[in-house]
Structure 1
Amino acid sequence: MANVLLSEAEKTYILHGIQKGYRNDGRTNRDYRPMELETDVVVHAMGSARLRLANTDILVAIKADIDVPSPDRPKEGKIEFFVDCSANATPDFEGRGGEELATEISNT
């Protein structure tokens, strides 16, 4: 994520808002944006969920397969992850832009 440079005036504005219990968008520090959470939204998955929060829409699905262990490690299994960052999520993901983040998340 890119670093955000703030001027001294912006820092002061934010700090005063924190001290008074308000955010720069007018909400108090205890206000939250409404969210919508659905489960079992992907029919062919073993489990799935969709979260909508403000302009964010996240869809997660879990699929699993049982496979034969590799002959050189018969008592070990493996877990593989696949992440797809939709190009519609942000202009940064257009083309192949989301692949770097998806690879980073998958390898974590």
Structure 2
Amino acid sequence: MIAMQVAGIIAEYVVFLELTDEEDLNLDTAVKMMEALGGHLQEMDKGFLRELVDAFPVIAEGYSGEAQQVVRDIPHGFYLEEALAADDPIKLAALEAERDRRG
């Protein structure tokens, strides 16, 4: 339950930073905030991070259009699966191949 709530907060934050018009949001500030968020996510307990990653597709259903895709892409954009697989070189190689394929 808590992972869904935290995923919702993160989703709102990322959607705002990704989709707010650059006239309304300083791009340098947005990048700094995304980098800070990414750092915090990477430092999370791996068990909770797994729950969080699994929550984003569920949370995404509450969005529409471009915002829905932004939320679905949070784990990819912040390299969260890679953070979860840090101790598994085979899984990391597979994730890297998938990332290369995805572009």
* More helix as a share of residues: 2
Point out which structure has higher relative CO (alpha carbons under 8 A, 6+ apart): 2
* More strand as a share of residues: 1
State the TM-score, normalizing by the size of structure 1: 0.25
* Higher CA-based Rg: 1
